[in-house]
Structure 1
Amino acid sequence: MAQLRSIGHLSWAFAALGVLLLSACDPASQSRADGSPPLPQVVVSTPLQKTVAEWDEYTGRFAAVNEVEVRPRVGGFLDSVNFRDGDIVRKGDLLFVIDPRPFEAELAAAHAGLAEAESRLELATRELTRASDLRRSQAVSETVLDQREQERAAAQAAVMAARAEVRQAELNLEFTRVTAPISGRVGRHLVSEGNLISGGTTASTLLTTIVSLDPIHIYFDADQAAFLRYVRMAQAGTQPSARENQSRVVLSLPDETAFEHEGRMDFLDNQLDRSTGTIRARATFSNPDLLFTPGLFARIRLLGRGQYDALMLPDSAIGTDQTRRYVFVVGDDGIPQYRPVEIGPLVDGLRVVRSGLEPTERVIVSGLQRVRPGAPVTPVEEPLADAGAPVRNAEAVQ
């Protein structure tokens, strides 16, 4: 038993010696010369520098460039519907046919009226010629000649009126074939064959609707703070005005994560909405595969700031003090200094620091919880690298 106790005491002695050796090799656990506790160890890095471009993100809604309510120009019984609901139609395609027989009869009557008027004009012309010959020989009075001239002028006017009636009858007959006024996607037919419809007035029967799809508009609203920022940048020359230049816009659909669709700004309203304090803007996108549909929501981004050289840090280096953000900068004396900063968006996993920091300053990026203002630390320098996280509202310029 005494031998076993000796072996146990030796084991504990060796273990204690090992712990002392490991502690002596760890700089963070070494005591200082004056016997005070070791300084806390922190990781410091200089900010990463990149040229970035920031984007403002809005929610927009697609709207057709052209939208038409198809209504008849003449009334009558609907003979046929010549499309399938939801079809893509081209301008001039036949959509509806109204019973043409009453209009064919009106055209025939108009032609008959024109023939009668032309016959009266021919008679009036002969009588005027005869009266002119007789007047030279003083066989008729000047009054008779004037009367014949008036009759001929009236006959000419009657012919012109009859020709107008023929043209009107031809148009009415043509309007019995209702064609697509624009190219696009047609809606469902709202009136079935055999129904009596009215036409030619503001209360004409609505037959269907057509919306154009390529190109397509998207409308969105910007708040007045963003509007003023855009105006200031245009006045300073750092970014062109959206009113005068078709600024680039990128778009992402609700089921997409990347902003892969590119369009151009083409309209900015002339005043802000009094009730919401926002201004309406519009961008145009090409839509060759007809993926974008009027009424669909999407996220859009437009350049919020011109390109600039940014300082970037990981979020772990940035603390929050009520409403302010701050970092700790370590100088040559090893004492952390509190530094308020203004931050921006994430770019490739790092946070943009807009102000409050110099490019050469060493910032504590790890171990922030061990820092006490005015208390020295042991800095360990490590260079920063891109974190590779998804880009949010900003991008690095290659």
Structure 2
Amino acid sequence: MTLPQNTTNSDKSHSRFHPWLKIFLYIGLIAVIIGVAYRFYGVFSSTSEHSHYVVEQPVAATIVKKSHLPVILTELGTVVPISNVTVQTRISGYLQQVFFTEGQLVKKNDLLALIDPRPSEALKAQYEGNLKADTALLQQAKLDNKRYQTLLKQNSIAPMTAQDQQYKVAQLEGQVKTDQALIKQQELNLIYCHIRAPVDGRIGIRQVDAGNYITEGQSGGLATLTQMTPMSVIFTLPENQLGIVLEALKNKKELTVEAWNTDNTTKLATGKTSVIDSQIDTSTGTVRLRAIFENKNWELFPNQFVNAHLLVKVIKDALILPNNAIQTGPNGSFVYVIQKDSTVKIQTIKTGYNDGEHTVITAGLVENEKIVTDGIDTLHEGSKVIIPENTQSSE
């Protein structure tokens, strides 16, 4: 009976101290957690501070240099032949012969087709016969008129008879002139029966075959004759750019124009322009220009779409930067200038002409300054930078 009583007393003693032990254990655990947290906070703060001020950010850079920058205006244009003629007949008749082949190059006045000339030849012969008869009548009337005038002076004929003879002579003279005009008309028709090339060029697909009856002003004509050399390109220019082009034409009679393909990847030909349309199209706010190209090898084809690159002028000794170096902020355009200590400084600049790849710097920079072109997103005033090898731009 004693053993159970001792066990019970021991349990009571243990239970009396157990709550205090738990409290001490909790306090110790909290102290350990606070210490570990403080340790990690100190390490993190030190690492963050070190990264903010010490870590160098890799960037690409370029040197500000002076260069000649051409001012080029790029506009969409269309290849338009200087001469594009629909070959028409000027007389109605049966198409007797066709002397050209489709796609053939022809010279001005080359014979292209023949319309049956026999009706015109027959009419010409008829009018020549009429002319001969009327000429004989006129000669006889003139002789009679001369005799009547002599008799009139001798008072041997009535004045009215002599005057009637004079009218007859005038009438026959008019008839002779009419006959002569009719003969010339048929001669002209015989010329029209021979259809000739009005200009040098390349003839297109034939619209009418030999044996058909064709009429004057027939729709589509015989074929289309297109002048291939030289060739022109018509392109439009926005009205707000017209001033610099007119100013350039005051100094130079002609401006250089390059024709590029629609993707702007291949130059097709180089030509000149000096022709500006006489008015602005109010519906589009543009004005048309025509550029002339030699087109010896047919680089340009009628109705082809091209990009016209108009060289207006060349800006000499300009400070230029690639466009990716220039940023825009609340105060306007700015760049990151790399200092001697490898930190960057924000520099506000003023810009001029932009050709799509480079921009002229008119104020804010000097030659040979080093400017960040890539890796800009994480930079701020005073950032430390490093330029890895083979990343510095040569522009």
TM-score range, shorter chain: 0.7 to 0.9
d(CA) in 2 for partners of 1:58 and 1:229?
Answer: 15
CA distance in 2, matches of 1:45, 1:66: 51
Q: Tell me, yes or no, if structure 1 residue 328 matches structure 2 residue 345.
A: no
Question: 1:58 aligned to 2:67?
Answer: no
Q: Which residue of 2 aligns with 1:251?
A: 259
- Measured in 2, the distance between the counterparts of 1:323 and 1:186 equals 62
User: How many equivalent pairs are there?
Assistant: 342
What's 2:366 paired with? 359
SS in 1 for 2:100: coil
Residue 240 of structure 1 pairs with residue 267 of structure 2: no
Paired residues for 1:198-209 under 5 Å: 198-199=215-216, 202=217, 206-209=221-224
Counterparts of residues 98-113 of structure 1 (less than 5 Å): 98-113=115-130
Output one character per residue of 1:41-92: Cα deviation in whole Å (capped at 9) or x when no partner. 6776641221221211122111111121221111111111111012111111
Shift in Å, 1:357: 2.8
Say whether 1:223 aligns with 2:238.
Answer: yes
The alpha-carbon distance between structure 1 residues 369 and 256, as it changes in their structure 2 partners (threshold 3 A), is: closer
Q: For 1:260 and 1:297, locate their aligned partners in 2 and report how far apart those are by CA, in whole Å.
A: 12
Residues 42 and 364, structure 1, Cα contact 8 Å, conserved in 2: no
Larger Rg, first or second structure (1 or 2): 2
1:333 deviation in Å?
A: 7.8
Alignment pair present for 1:85 and 2:102: yes
The two structures have a TM-score, normalised by structure 2, of: 0.75
Deviates more, 1:112-121 or 1:94-103: 94-103
Q: Which residue of 1 aligns with 2:7?
A: none
Say if 1:40 and 1:370, in contact at 8 Å, map to a contact too: no
TM superposition shift of 1:330: 4.4
Flag the 1:275–1:205 CA change in 2: closer, same or farther, 3 A.
Answer: closer
Q: Compute the displacement of 1:187 (Å).
A: 1.5
| Distance (Å, rounded) in 2 between the aligned partners of 1:323 and 1:329 | 17
2:42 is aligned to none
Uncovered stretches (5+) of structure 1, i.e. residues with no partner: 1-30, 388-398
Q: Tell me the secondary structure at the aligned position of residue 175 of structure 1.
A: helix
- CA separation of 1:230 and 1:314: change in aligned 2, threshold 3 A: closer
Structure 2: stretches of 5+ with no match in the other structure: 1-46
Give the equivalent residue in structure 1 for 2:21: none
Of 144-153 and 312-321, deviating more is 312-321
Structure 1 residues 369, 140: CA separation in 2 closer, same or farther (over 3 Å shift)? closer
- Does the 8 A contact of 1:48 with 1:385 survive in 2? no
Residues 281-318 of structure 1: per-residue CA shift (max 9 Å, x gap): 11111122233221112222112454232223455644
Structure-1 residue corresponding to 2:181: 164
TM-score (norm 1): 0.75
| AA in 2 matched with 1:186 | I
The 5 A counterparts of 1:274-313 are 274-313=282-321
Determine if the alignment matches structure 1 residue 40 to structure 2 residue 31: no
The amino acid across from 1:359 in the alignment is V
- Contact map agreement 2:321 2:361 (CA 8 A) in 1: no
Aligned 8 A contact 1:78 1:96 in 2: yes
Assess if the C-alpha contact under 8 Å between 1:58 and 1:220 holds in 2. yes
Using the TM superposition, name which of 219-228 and 185-194 deviates more: 219-228
Query: Which has a greater percent of helix?
Result: 2
Say if 2:130 and 2:179, in contact at 8 Å, map to a contact too: yes
Q: Matches of 2:178 and 2:267 in 1, distance apart? A: 63
Superposition CA RMSD, Å: 3.4
User: Which one of 66, 86, 90 corresponds to residue 69 of structure 1?
Assistant: 86
